[in-house]
Amino acid sequence: MRPSGGKRFSFQPFEYKPKVNFKRSHYVGSSDAALNQELETLRDLWLRVQSSRDRDAIYEYLTAAYELVLCWKIEDQQVQRAKRALKINGLAPPVNDPEPFAAVIAASVSPEKLDRRQVSKYSRVLRFAARLNCHPRDFKRLVKYRCGGLNACAARFKCCLKRQ
Protein backbone atom coordinates (compact mmCIF):
# COMPACT_ATOMS: atom_id res chain seq x y z
CA MET A 1 0.00 0.00 0.00
CA ARG A 2 1.43 3.35 -1.01
CA PRO A 3 1.13 6.32 1.35
CA SER A 4 0.08 8.69 -1.43
CA GLY A 5 -3.20 6.95 -2.24
CA GLY A 6 -1.85 4.71 -5.00
CA LYS A 7 0.07 7.42 -6.88
CA ARG A 8 3.77 7.02 -7.48
CA PHE A 9 6.02 9.56 -5.84
CA SER A 10 9.49 10.55 -6.89
CA PHE A 11 12.40 11.80 -4.90
CA GLN A 12 13.98 15.01 -6.09
CA PRO A 13 17.68 15.67 -5.52
CA PHE A 14 18.23 18.26 -2.86
CA GLU A 15 20.90 20.02 -0.89
CA TYR A 16 20.28 19.43 2.80
CA LYS A 17 20.14 22.64 4.82
CA PRO A 18 19.67 22.19 8.56
CA LYS A 19 17.97 24.81 10.69
CA VAL A 20 21.31 25.90 12.17
CA ASN A 21 23.76 27.64 9.87
CA PHE A 22 26.84 25.49 10.50
CA LYS A 23 29.05 27.60 8.25
CA ARG A 24 28.65 30.63 10.52
CA SER A 25 28.72 28.76 13.81
CA HIS A 26 31.53 26.27 13.18
CA TYR A 27 32.04 25.76 16.90
CA VAL A 28 28.66 24.04 17.31
CA GLY A 29 29.15 20.39 18.12
CA SER A 30 32.94 20.53 17.88
CA SER A 31 33.77 19.60 21.48
CA ASP A 32 33.86 16.06 22.84
CA ALA A 33 31.06 16.95 25.26
CA ALA A 34 28.81 18.14 22.42
CA LEU A 35 29.60 15.04 20.36
CA ASN A 36 28.89 12.81 23.33
CA GLN A 37 25.57 14.64 23.86
CA GLU A 38 24.56 13.95 20.25
CA LEU A 39 25.42 10.29 20.68
CA GLU A 40 23.57 10.18 24.01
CA THR A 41 20.46 11.45 22.24
CA LEU A 42 20.82 8.60 19.74
CA ARG A 43 21.33 6.09 22.59
CA ASP A 44 18.11 7.24 24.26
CA LEU A 45 16.31 6.93 20.95
CA TRP A 46 17.75 3.42 20.47
CA LEU A 47 16.48 2.36 23.91
CA ARG A 48 13.03 3.73 23.06
CA VAL A 49 13.07 1.83 19.75
CA GLN A 50 14.08 -1.40 21.49
CA SER A 51 11.32 -1.09 24.08
CA SER A 52 8.70 -0.37 21.41
CA ARG A 53 6.58 -3.11 19.89
CA ASP A 54 6.16 -1.12 16.66
CA ARG A 55 8.01 -2.73 13.77
CA ASP A 56 8.56 0.65 12.13
CA ALA A 57 10.22 2.15 15.21
CA ILE A 58 13.73 1.48 13.84
CA TYR A 59 13.16 4.09 11.14
CA GLU A 60 13.05 6.82 13.78
CA TYR A 61 16.52 5.86 15.04
CA LEU A 62 17.98 5.45 11.55
CA THR A 63 16.56 8.81 10.45
CA ALA A 64 18.20 10.53 13.43
CA ALA A 65 21.56 8.83 12.72
CA TYR A 66 21.25 9.77 9.04
CA GLU A 67 20.53 13.39 9.87
CA LEU A 68 23.47 13.59 12.30
CA VAL A 69 25.94 12.38 9.66
CA LEU A 70 24.44 14.77 7.09
CA CYS A 71 25.14 17.65 9.48
CA TRP A 72 28.73 16.44 9.84
CA LYS A 73 28.98 16.25 6.05
CA ILE A 74 27.89 19.88 5.72
CA GLU A 75 30.76 20.86 8.00
CA ASP A 76 33.09 18.51 6.08
CA GLN A 77 33.91 16.79 9.38
CA GLN A 78 32.28 13.39 8.94
CA VAL A 79 35.44 11.26 9.07
CA GLN A 80 37.04 13.21 11.94
CA ARG A 81 33.85 13.13 14.01
CA ALA A 82 33.35 9.44 13.27
CA LYS A 83 36.84 8.70 14.63
CA ARG A 84 36.18 10.83 17.72
CA ALA A 85 32.79 9.19 18.31
CA LEU A 86 34.39 5.76 18.34
CA LYS A 87 37.25 6.93 20.56
CA ILE A 88 34.94 8.65 23.07
CA ASN A 89 32.94 5.44 23.48
CA GLY A 90 35.99 3.24 23.98
CA LEU A 91 35.82 1.57 20.58
CA ALA A 92 38.99 1.19 18.56
CA PRO A 93 38.75 3.14 15.30
CA PRO A 94 39.85 1.24 12.20
CA VAL A 95 43.34 1.80 10.78
CA ASN A 96 41.96 3.58 7.73
CA ASP A 97 39.13 6.13 7.79
CA PRO A 98 35.96 4.78 9.40
CA GLU A 99 32.67 4.80 7.54
CA PRO A 100 30.69 7.60 9.29
CA PHE A 101 27.30 5.87 9.33
CA ALA A 102 28.72 2.66 10.78
CA ALA A 103 30.70 4.64 13.35
CA VAL A 104 27.61 6.53 14.54
CA ILE A 105 25.62 3.31 14.87
CA ALA A 106 28.43 1.48 16.66
CA ALA A 107 29.07 4.42 19.01
CA SER A 108 25.41 4.92 19.90
CA VAL A 109 24.42 1.28 20.49
CA SER A 110 25.98 -1.02 23.06
CA PRO A 111 28.02 -3.82 21.44
CA GLU A 112 26.01 -6.50 23.27
CA LYS A 113 22.80 -5.36 21.58
CA LEU A 114 24.00 -5.12 18.00
CA ASP A 115 26.36 -7.38 16.10
CA ARG A 116 28.61 -6.27 13.26
CA ARG A 117 26.28 -7.68 10.59
CA GLN A 118 23.42 -5.49 11.77
CA VAL A 119 25.73 -2.45 11.93
CA SER A 120 26.79 -3.23 8.37
CA LYS A 121 23.20 -3.62 7.16
CA TYR A 122 22.02 -0.38 8.78
CA SER A 123 25.08 1.41 7.43
CA ARG A 124 24.38 0.19 3.89
CA VAL A 125 20.80 1.44 4.15
CA LEU A 126 21.97 4.88 5.29
CA ARG A 127 24.64 5.05 2.56
CA PHE A 128 22.05 4.09 -0.06
CA ALA A 129 19.80 6.94 1.11
CA ALA A 130 22.76 9.34 1.06
CA ARG A 131 23.69 8.22 -2.46
CA LEU A 132 20.16 9.08 -3.61
CA ASN A 133 20.31 12.46 -1.81
CA CYS A 134 17.27 11.57 0.22
CA HIS A 135 16.01 14.22 2.62
CA PRO A 136 15.76 12.95 6.22
CA ARG A 137 12.00 13.50 6.32
CA ASP A 138 11.65 11.20 3.27
CA PHE A 139 13.96 8.50 4.65
CA LYS A 140 11.26 6.11 5.85
CA ARG A 141 9.27 6.44 2.63
CA LEU A 142 12.37 5.76 0.56
CA VAL A 143 13.42 2.68 2.47
CA LYS A 144 10.06 1.16 3.27
CA TYR A 145 7.92 1.96 0.22
CA ARG A 146 10.33 2.60 -2.62
CA CYS A 147 12.94 -0.05 -1.81
CA GLY A 148 10.78 -2.59 0.02
CA GLY A 149 12.29 -2.47 3.50
CA LEU A 150 15.65 -2.48 5.24
CA ASN A 151 16.91 -5.78 3.84
CA ALA A 152 15.94 -4.94 0.25
CA CYS A 153 17.51 -1.49 0.52
CA ALA A 154 20.76 -2.92 1.92
CA ALA A 155 20.82 -5.48 -0.90
CA ARG A 156 20.32 -2.75 -3.50
CA PHE A 157 23.27 -0.82 -2.11
CA LYS A 158 25.41 -3.96 -2.14
CA CYS A 159 24.56 -4.47 -5.83
CA CYS A 160 25.46 -0.84 -6.56
CA LEU A 161 28.89 -1.39 -4.98
CA LYS A 162 29.52 -4.48 -7.09
CA ARG A 163 28.82 -2.54 -10.31
CA GLN A 164 31.47 0.08 -9.60
Over the Cα atoms of the chain, what is R_g? 16
Taking each helix axis from N to C end, the angle separating 100-108 and 32-51, rounded to the nearest 10 degrees, works out to: 70
Nearest to 144 by CA among 130, 161, 125: 125
- Residue pLDDT tens, the chain, 164 long: 445 555 555 555 556 555 444 443 344 556 888 999 999 999 999 999 989 989 899 999 999 999 999 999 998 999 999 999 999 888 887 878 889 999 999 999 977 777 889 999 999 999 999 999 999 999 999 999 998 999 999 998 877 765 55
Q: How far apart are alpha carbons 15 and 158 in whole angstroms?
A: 24
Cα 73 from chain centroid (whole Å) = 12
**Strand, helix or coil at 18?**
coil
